C-alpha cells in the first residue's frame, strides 16, 4: 500500500506540474495540443505503473528512486529539469502568441513516433531487470546483451531521445523544439559518465563494449 500511494502521489504531482507548465503560459485550457500530449504521456505511464505494481513491485520501487548520488549525474538531472520547464513554458507561450505554425501532419506523425518510443521503452524495461533511473551497479548485477541490448548498448536512451524530441512537435511549437534539442547532448553527458562507472564496476562490461559497438544509434554511434 505504501508503494502504491507513493507511485500515485508522484504520478499526480507530475501530471499537475506538466499541466501547469503547459496551460498557464498558454493562458487557456483550450490548448488542444497540450491535452493531446498529456494523454499520450500520462495514459501509458499510468498503465505501465499498474502493470509493474502487480507483476514486479520491486522493479516499480526501483523506478521511483530518482535520487542520484554522483555529482555529474546530479548536474545532468538538474539541467534536464530546467530544459523541460523551459520547453513546456515556451510551447505554451508559442500557442498563446501564435509565434509558429506547425502542419497537422507533423503533429500526427510525432504522436505515432511518441507511442512507438514508449513501446520501445517498455521493451527495454522487460529485457533489463537491473534498469534504474539512477546510475549504480547492483549486487549480483550481470551484463544484459540480448534483444535490443545486442543492437545498441543504451536502448533506453535511444527511446527517450525519440520520446522527448517528439514532445515539442506534439505541442505544435517549433520554438520549443529548439529547447528540447539540447536533450541529446544531456543524454550523451550522462551516458559517458555511466559507461565509465559500468566499465569500472560491472564485470564483463568492457567485453560487452567490444561486442556491441554502437551506443544509441545503430550503425552510426
Q: What pLDDT sits at residue 93?
A: 97
User: Could you tell me if 114 and 170 are in contact, meaning their C-beta atoms sit under 8 angstroms apart?
Assistant: yes
- Which of the four pLDDT bands, split at 50, 70 and 90, describes residue 62? low
pLDDT at 51: 77
Q: What is the chain's mean pLDDT, rounded?
A: 86
Supply the pTM of this predicted model: 0.85
Cβ atoms of 89 and 173 within 8 Å: the answer is: no
**Residue 220, domain member (yes or no):** no
Q: What is the pLDDT of residues 1-43, one digit of tens each?
A: 787 787 788 888 889 999 999 999 999 999 999 999 999 999 8
Residue 41 in any domain: the answer is yes
Mean pLDDT score, 171-180: 96
pLDDT of residue 95: 96
Residue 136: left if φ>0, alpha if ψ -120 to 50, beta else—which one? beta
Q: 11 in a domain, yes or no?
A: yes
pLDDT digits (tens, 9 = 90+) for 134-163: 666 766 778 888 888 888 988 989 999 999
Domain holding 44, by residue range, is 2-211
What is the structure's pLDDT at 166? 96
Instruction: Report yes or no on 152 lying in a domain.
Output: yes
Please give the grid coordinates belonging to residue 78: 538538474
Q: Is residue 218 part of a domain?
A: no
The C-alpha atoms of residue 151 and residue 189 are separated, in whole angstroms, by: 21
pLDDT in tens, 93-149: 999 999 999 999 999 999 999 999 989 988 888 887 766 656 667 667 788 888 888
Q: For position 48, what pLDDT does the model report?
A: 80
Residue 143 lies in a domain: yes
Q: Is residue 216 domain-resident?
A: no
Q: Is residue 23 part of a domain?
A: yes
Q: Are 199 and 140 in contact (CB under 8 A)?
A: no
Compute the half-sphere exposure of residue 153: CA atoms within 13 Å on the CB side of its CA.
Answer: 21
Q: At 99, which CATH number?
A: 1.20.120.1630
Q: Identify the residue with better confidence: 64 or 33.
A: 33
Query: For the chain, what is the domain count?
Result: 1
Amino acid at each position: 500500500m505504501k508503494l502504491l500511494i507513493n507511485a500515485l502521489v508522484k504520478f499526480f504531482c507530475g501530471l499537475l506540474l506538466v499541466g501547469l507548465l503547459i496551460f498557464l503560459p498558454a493562458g487557456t485550457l483550450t490548448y488542444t495540443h497540450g491535452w493531446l500530449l498529456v494523454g499520450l504521456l500520462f495514459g501509458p505511464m499510468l498503465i505501465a505503473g499498474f502493470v509493474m505494481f502487480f507483476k514486479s513491485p520491486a522493479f516499480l520501487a526501483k523506478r521511483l528512486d530518482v535520487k542520484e548520488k554522483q555529482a555529474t549525474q546530479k548536474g545532468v538531472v538538474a539541467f534536464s529539469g530546467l530544459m523541460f520547464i523551459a520547453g513546456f513554458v515556451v510551447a505554451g507561450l508559442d500557442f498563446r502568441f501564435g509565434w509558429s505554425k506547425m502542419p497537422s501532419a507533423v503533429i500526427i506523425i510525432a504522436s505515432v513516433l511518441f507511442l512507438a518510443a514508449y513501446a520501445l521503452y517498455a521493451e527495454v524495461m522487460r529485457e533489463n531487470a537491473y534498469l534504474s533511473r539512477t546510475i549504480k551497479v547492483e549486487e549480483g548485477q550481470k551484463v544484459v546483451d540480448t534483444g535490443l541490448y545486442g543492437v545498441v548498448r543504451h536502448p533506453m536512451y535511444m527511446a527517450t531521445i525519440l520520446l522527448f524530441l517528439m514532445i515539442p512537435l506534439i505541442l505544435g511549437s517549433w520554438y520549443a523544439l529548439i529547447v528540447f534539442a539540447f536533450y541529446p547532448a544531456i543524454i550523451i553527458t550522462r551516458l559517458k559518465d555511466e559507461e565509465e562507472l559500468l566499465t569500472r564496476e560491472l564485470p564483463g562490461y568492457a567485453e560487452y563494449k567490444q561486442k556491441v559497438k554502437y551506443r544509441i544509434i545503430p550503425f552510426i554511434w
